[in-house]
Structures are given as C-alpha cells and as structure tokens.
Chain A
C-alpha cells in the first residue's frame, strides 16, 4: 500500500496579521508557523491505515513551501511517515490552488499511490480546492470532509460530514483522494524517540520549477483586513471593573436575572 499525505505549513491563527508590501498576502515576518490543523488528521489517518495493515504500507509526506516547510514535514515523519518530500517554493502563495494541485499531481503521477490524504482546507487560504483538483488530475475518486475512514482490502468505507450533523456513508475502491475534516481521529503527539528517529528518515528535495505547471487561473488583486462594521461595545481593563459592567448588562438581558 502506497500512501501520500499532502500537508501545508500555516501561521498560528491566533496571530495578528499584517498585509505585506505587495498588498496581496500577509507579512510572514514575526509569525509563528505550524502544521495546518486539518493536515494533522490526514497524517494520523495514514499512520492508522499503516498500523491496520501490520506495517505493510509506505507513507510519503509531501509539502510545498520555503525552507520552513521542512519543520512540518519532520512533524509528519515523527508521527509515523516514512519519507519526506519537500518541493521548494519560496513564495507558494503566488501559486493558485490549480498550480499547487498540478505540482502534486506531477510528482505523484508515476508513483502508483493507492491513497492520498490531505486536509479539507488550509487555515490561511481555506479554498478547499487542492484535494479535489489532485483527484481530478490523477483520475482518482475523491471524498471530501471525511469524519470516518475504514479500509477493507482495496475498498474504503467512508463517513463524510454534511450540514446540520448529518453524515453520508459511502463505499468505494482505491485509488482515492480523501480530504480530512477535524474530528476524524485523534492526532498523536510525536514522542521524543520518534522525533529523533524522524531526523534519520529520507527527505527528498525538489524545486517547484522541476515540475512545470503552467500559468495561474486566479489572480489575487489584494489582501486586506475585513471592514469593521456593526462593532459593538468593547470593554477592556481591570477584571473586577469589567465584571461589574458586564453583570449590570446581563441583569437586563438574561430573563432569569430580571
């Protein structure tokens, strides 16, 4: 069983974002980067599939990005990936989802992967496009927003999340692209011995230019903070004073306190 996991490194979403000088993306300086949350579930599911097969699987963890992306790949290897693939691109945000997907498909095309896991979306761009596009480019089936995954031989039984708590249950044969929703599993924390072992694992480095992918289909005009509209009262300061103020408000607004 050959498994590919596609991951991305994103800024901590608690950060304060500033627009860069080009006006089309956030300023990366001063931001702390981490593994995209959805992708943690993708790595975990790949490792669980391998464990379920008694280790008879090979997991490649791929990321496109600048040098810092190697940290995310190493985390994937420490969680149980076998090999890292770093496709170096210093300004990956200048590529649209179509180009990112084309890069991944160009890498994956002759590798005979049976399963490709990735996150439902990235936390920074959030387009939710790359997984589906990779599937289409490779001619694989694809199921998105997956919250349950079981493999029986070459057939996967999948639960996907729909609106309002409803789930859809589908069955389909490999090869397959799965995009992982939060809650699919409980991603493990890499242990110290596994972090050490990950340093010895194979890491292949390519340049994005090694895979010609053509022009982007979407142009970014600008990035900007949302317009502050309808903003209410903002209370700041001493905790006890804040509590006095809010208690007075709640005594009016909560029927039980009136």
Chain B
C-alpha cells in the first residue's frame, strides 16, 4: 500500500503539521512519499521520495496549478491513498483532485479501523465509519488526530514535477495578518470563554465577570466573535488562538472540533453547559450541567466570599 502525503508550505516555511501526515501513514502501515510545493531548503525531513515543485514558479496558493501538479505526481507514483490535512489547503485541493480522478474522498479522518476510516459527524456528536469503494482514494485527516512523536529526520530525494503550461485563472495577491490584538491569550494563566450558549451580547459580561473573579482573561468561540460580541484576539480555536492555560472555563460552549483543537491542552478544564451530551464534556475535567445565566451569578457570590 502506498500513500502520497501532501505537505503544506506557507509564508516561506514548511508547516509543522505536515508531519502529522507521516504519523497517519505509519498508522496505516503504508509506503510513504511526499508531495511538496515550496523552496528546496524547506523540504520535509524524510528519508524517501519527495515530489517537488518550486513555489517561486507555481505560487504558495494556487489551487488550479497545485491540483495539476499533484495529478502529475499521482501519475508517477500511483499511490493507493493521496493524503491531505483537513485544513484550508486540503479543503481547496482534495475534492477537486477526487473529482478529477473520479475516486472516493473521505474527509476529516480521526481514526483507522479494520472496516474503514472513522470521521466525525453532527458537530462531533456522532461518528461515521466510511470505506472507499474505488481502488485509489483521497483522504484528509483532522489536525491533531495523528500526532507525530519525536524529531523528524532524514534526507529527502527530490523528484521534480513540472507543468508545461503554467497559465492560471487565479491571481494570489497576498496574506493579511489577523487584526491587531486587544489581548494576548497565549500569556493568560486562566481563560474563561463564552460560547454561543450565552445567547446575546449583554450576557458576555457575565462570563467576563467570572474571568475577572478568577484573575483571568475572557476568551470566546468563533460564533461569538463573528457576531461581534468579542474581539477577534479573544477567539480560541483553530482559526483563532491555540491556548494551554492552567485553568480553562468553557461557558455555553458545545465544543466544536475547531474550538477543542484550540484549548484541549489546558491543564484543567471546566465546562458549564445545559447540554450534558455536548462534546465539550469529552475534554472537560469537570462538567457542570446548568444554565450559565443562573449558575455563574451563584458561583460569583461564592467566589467573592
């Protein structure tokens, strides 16, 4: 069994998350080769074949050209699996590649069993076990689900891939950094975060009051930030900040995969939620099943004593 692992490269650097693909392929027991569009010096540390194209020529972001380059590598390598991270890069490329080759795609794999690949469904409340019917398949793996242990090493043997015609419909203008920060959550020892369960903007203040009482900072989930109830610098999760404070209190947060990815390494996690089955319960050391609007004021009264 052969796996072609699609490395990620951004702002002139190989992304560390690339090595999660290696961990996944090792779990599969597959023979491994990388595909990498970047700068030669940044190629993955790996004793094996790395299909390589210059980002200087094909861009860091260009799904049209990158798809065609992956297709070139697939033709040379004939892998059973073409493996991406379930990331902004994989979202763009994986389905296009699967459709171009008319082969199965399985998205956001979190586990491997003898009967198929395990993926989350229904906002992580359920799982599905899926099996590709086609001989080849495109796979994307959830970030953090397969962690690479140790220091990657080795010397890649580069196999160049090229396109005769590099005309493209897509013009990449550049990157925009996140807006300037109101707070640096990475430095907070205690973070108390508000999720959609707070209901409305005014109620964020109740969560902020708990943050102050615990000597911590206010955090928030993506929907709360998108609604304009909290500043973007307070967003915890894969599209915001990844944090690992001593104490994390999740208030009215159901626990989307993206949010949990950003806070699961906290030393101690408390969740306050009406829904006992909310996925946040899976990572919480303590889950308080309660309406936060009643519970937090009662808690504050006791903490101030």
Residues of A211-233 contacting chain B, CB below 8 A: 215-226, 228-233
Closest to A179 in B: B91
Residues of A76-122 contacting chain B, CB below 8 A: 96-98, 101, 120
**Which listed segment binds B: A42-50, A62-70, A158-166, A197-205?**
A158-166
For residue A137, CB closer than 8 A to chain B, the reply is yes
* B interface footprint on A133-171 (CB within 8 Å = 1, 0 otherwise): 101110001111100000000000101111111111111
Residues of A1-37 contacting chain B, CB below 8 A: 11, 13-14, 16-17, 19, 26
Q: Within the assembled complex, what's the spacing in Å between the Cα atoms of A11 and B125?
A: 12
- B128 to A223, Cβ gap below 8 A? yes
State the majority secondary structure of interface residues on A. mixed
The one of B126, B216, B240 in contact with A17, judged by C-beta atoms closer than 8 angstroms, is B126
For residue B162, CB closer than 8 A to chain A, the reply is no
State the majority secondary structure of interface residues on B. mixed
Closest to B304 in A: A247
Interface size band for A: 35 or more
A163-B88, A246-B286 are known contacts. Are A257 and B95 too (CB-CB below 8 A)? no
Residues of A234-258 contacting chain B, CB below 8 A: 234-236, 239-240, 242-244, 246-247, 249-251, 253-257
Residues of B154-197 contacting chain A, CB below 8 A: 169-178, 189-190
A172-B171, A228-B282, A231-B282 are known contacts. Are A219 and B92 too (CB-CB below 8 A)? no
Residues of B121-178 contacting chain A, CB below 8 A: 121-134, 169-178
- B107 to A127, Cβ gap below 8 A? yes
- B99 to A133, Cβ gap below 8 A? yes
- A257 to B92, Cβ gap below 8 A? no
- B96 to A133, Cβ gap below 8 A? yes
- B178 to A230, Cβ gap below 8 A? no
For residue B246, CB closer than 8 A to chain A, the reply is yes
For residue B94, CB closer than 8 A to chain A, the reply is yes
A169-B173, A243-B302 are known contacts. Are A14 and B275 too (CB-CB below 8 A)? yes
**Which listed segment binds A: B19-27, B35-43, B72-80, B287-295?**
B287-295
Residues of A within 8 A of B99 (CB): 98, 101, 132-133, 136-137
- A221 to B94, Cβ gap below 8 A? no
For residue B120, CB closer than 8 A to chain A, the reply is yes
Residues of B251-305 contacting chain A, CB below 8 A: 254, 268-270, 275-277, 279, 281-291, 294-295, 298-299, 301-303
Residues of B within 8 A of A125 (CB): 121
B223 to chain A, nearest CB (A): 7
Query: Which of A's residues lie within 8 Å of B, judged by CB?
Result: 11, 13-14, 16-17, 19, 26, 96-98, 101, 120, 123-133, 135-137, 141-145, 157, 159-173, 179, 182-183, 215-226, 228-236, 239-240, 242-244, 246-247, 249-251, 253-257
- Listed from nearest, the 9 A-B pairs whose CB atoms lie closest are A256-B215, A165-B178, A132-B95, A136-B99, A183-B226, A247-B302, A243-B298, A217-B104, A232-B285
What are 14 A-B contacts with C-beta separation under 8 Å?
A11-B122, A127-B119, A128-B91, A132-B93, A163-B88, A168-B88, A170-B172, A171-B170, A221-B129, A226-B279, A240-B298, A254-B190, A254-B247, A255-B215
Query: Which of B's residues lie within 8 Å of A, judged by CB?
Result: 10, 61, 63-64, 86-89, 91-96, 98-100, 102-108, 115-116, 119-134, 169-178, 189-190, 214-216, 222-223, 225-226, 232, 235, 238-242, 246-247, 254, 268-270, 275-277, 279, 281-291, 294-295, 298-299, 301-303
